[in-house]
């Protein structure tokens, strides 16, 4: 599974939470980043898991 959050350069106070709080820790591995002339940045992550865990 991959996650590709887009970061838009606008200030909005304390920010916006992307994920709900859970007791389970989600492990992400950074893959690469793209930047665009508009200032938008997209970061690509893969969800990693320990042996025996399911995503």
Residue-wise pLDDT for 36-46, tens only, equals 998 899 999 99
pTM (2 decimals)? Answer: 0.65
Q: Which of 12, 7, 15, 18 is nearest to 41 (CA)?
A: 7
- Better pLDDT: 18 or 42: 42
Q: Which of 33, 25, 27 is nearest to 4 (CA)?
A: 33
Spell out the domain ranges in the chain: 1-9+26-55
The confidence band for 52, taking pLDDT boundaries of 50, 70 and 90, is low
What is residue 54's predicted lDDT score, i.e. its pLDDT?
55
State the DSSP code for 12: -
Q: Which of 6, 7, 4, 1 is nearest to 44 (CA)?
A: 4
Residue 47 to residue 6: CA distance in whole angstroms:
17
């Amino acid at each position: 599974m991959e996650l590709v959050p887009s970061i838009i350069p606008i200030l909005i106070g304390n920010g916006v939470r992307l994920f709900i709080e859970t007791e389970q820790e989600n492990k992400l591995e950074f893959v690469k980043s793209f930047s665009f002339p508009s200032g938008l940045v997209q970061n690509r992550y893969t969800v990693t898991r320990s042996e025996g865990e399911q995503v």
